[in-house]
Amino acid sequence: MTAKPLSEMKDEESVIVNEFKGGRNFTGRLNSLGIKPGTRITVVSSMRMKGPVTVQIGSATIAIGAGMAQKIMVKV
């Protein structure tokens, strides 16, 4: 299965982070939030490329801006 941007995922969909389409600062920011390749995350709510994507990682809930979500590639 090919990777898709996190911004295209539907509510309640559980996905695995595959890779990031950004530089070192972008990757560092996501790593500090606990978002790393291989991490399973669940989409809590998504505006489907218009607004923030809210995801759950373990017991934490995090809102990610649409631009960032577009650069996080995931697999279902």
pLDDT given at position 28: 94
Q: Which two tokens stand for residue 58?
A: 């373990």
> Would you state the pLDDT for residue 47?
75
Q: Where are the domains of the chain?
A: 4-75
* Token digits of residue 4: 């898709």
Res 50: pLDDT: 77
Give the global pTM.
0.90
Q: What is the mean pLDDT of each run of 10 residues along the chain (76 residues)?
A: 90 95 94 94 83 92 93 95
User: Which numeric CATH code is attached to 4-75?
Assistant: 2.30.30.90
At 69 the pLDDT is 93
What pLDDT sits at residue 48? 65
Q: What is the 3-state secondary structure (H, E, C) of the chain?
A: CCCEEHHHCCCCCEEEEEEECCCHHHHHHHHHCCCCCCCEEEEEEECCCCCCEEEEECCEEEEECHHHHHCEEEEC
- Measured distance CA(44)–CA(53) in Å, rounded: 8
What is residue 57's predicted lDDT score, i.e. its pLDDT?
94
